[in-house]
Structure 1
Amino acid sequence: MDYEVKDIKTDIIDASNQVPVVIDFWAEWCGPCRTLGPVIEKLAGEAKGRWKLVKVNVDHPENQHLAQQFQIRGIPAVRMIYQGKLLGEFSGALPESEIKKWLANHLPEAPEPEEGPEELLELAMKQGDRTAALEMAKRIHNEEPGKDEHHVRLALLLLPVGLEDASRLMASLHQPEKFEMERNVLATVEHLKQIAGGEVNLPDTPGAKLYREGAMSFFEEHFEEAADRWIQVLMTDRSLDDDGARKACTALFTLLGDHHPVTDAFRRRFSMALYA
């Protein structure tokens, strides 16, 4: 890679407003310069944009004014500048280990990378914050409309209250066969809506009452109550509504995500009831 300065304003002044610029003042006749050059160029290649190397041949007339500005008395001489300030300097052909220490001591701390909507969505899900996750999912969906993955993710976060909108999103998938599990969740939620509304005939049993109460709690977003009632049904009447309590719990845990407090609190109990 060619690190030689081409334009002082562009390569050094403007660039140093964005990243630290390390300037290597050198000349072809200088033996120590030829020793230092490959080492500092290697480190610049490994810097991944953290800092920029610019080499300045002091024998070129157009560079002599710059050398005078930095008060270069001997070469090789290295200066680090950033946003109008001199951050560090050294002279002579230092070994690689010493240059690394010099860089570590003088480079400003790297800024924390800004978290994008995908990272914020993942963080919200890990924290069990479906409200924040929904806002991020809406933002991602609006910025990149038409992607099946975004439709599905937003649909699950809209459930259960936003059932109609979720159903429309799932109906618009280009490749619905890739999302069989999520479509099964939606079908279960649609069925639970009918259960909660009394549109499905159930036997007059304590288990059926608990099952319907769980569905009603689910649509009120009282997820803990819903999980508790469905697991009770699972333990006493697996056959009710064609194993409806198991399907309801599975749908609930899927749309809440693995890190939601309700999932954490009830998944083990669900597994024990399932295989009791």
Structure 2
Amino acid sequence: MSMSGAVDLSAVKAAAEAKQKAEQARAQRAAQPEGQGGAAAGVQLVIDVDEATFEQEVLQRSAEVPVVIDFWAEWCEPCKQLSPVLERLTEEYAGRIVLAKIDVDSNQMLFQQFGVQGIPAVFAVIAGQALPLFQGAAPEQQIRQVLDQLIQAAEERFGIVGAPVAPGEGGEPRPTAPEPPSNPTLAAAHAALDAGDMGGAIRAYENVLADEPANEEARLGLGQARLLDRVQGADAQRVRQEAADRPDDVAAQLAAADLDLVGGHVEDAFGRLVEAVRRTAGEDRDAARVRLLELFEVVGPDDPRVTAARGALARVLF
């Protein structure tokens, strides 16, 4: 990770002042009485941020601690896989980073300001400077490496080290996650998915569905795992170029549609496959149709974009 691509944000002072500001903030916090922002006061590590609170919660805090930004949306299934991992790691880093969660549907100005191309997308802000970290869901080990590099860069370049907190001092608790599944095979499938072991996750979800064909959680997890398994290691530039060069090649369109969806370009993925169904026949057409139905399941049947794409598919088929 390099700071060379950082984008200056005009709402804060130059990065050269960051070290002094961080030291002043730490000194002020340490001097305050306990319970009034002093060293023992609770520090909220995972925060929901909107356009109104962005300057205070992100820009100003970035002078004291690296702020990681998670751009997400309720309809984005890969976001639902990534966000819990980011939240857990933020708590584990115990004050060396802060996680700011931004719902892109409610904060389009911030979405555009950062030049986000698709979600989930993860950025960082250090001393008022923003830099992209990664886009799309990623294995936990890779995320951990990126965060380690971010923390190192913040300390070496700006003297920003955060404010370490002890366990239990992470501020007001966020809503607790649902209870873990009672089915141990389903729990193992979820764990494999979080760890980036897509093969293990697929096998475990399939085992759950063999015993419980109506298990909605396993069905959704299997769709996500298969999608992420297909895009692992893909050369995105090559895949997209092949899809552009060979519009009648169904395999090329399927691969590009998978990348579209993982990158948060839901409508692009659906439109690409509807067009593939329209242009082809026989086995190729059936392959495009089946993949489109699989992606519908990943996004969720109640999503309005799924409803629209179902209508487009019906018009092409009938």
* Bigger radius of gyration: 1
Shorter chain as normaliser: what TM range? 0.3 to 0.5
TM-score (ref. length: structure 1):
0.37
Q: TM-score, normalised by structure 2?
A: 0.33
Does 1 or 2 have the higher relative contact order (CA < 8 Å, sep 6+)? 2
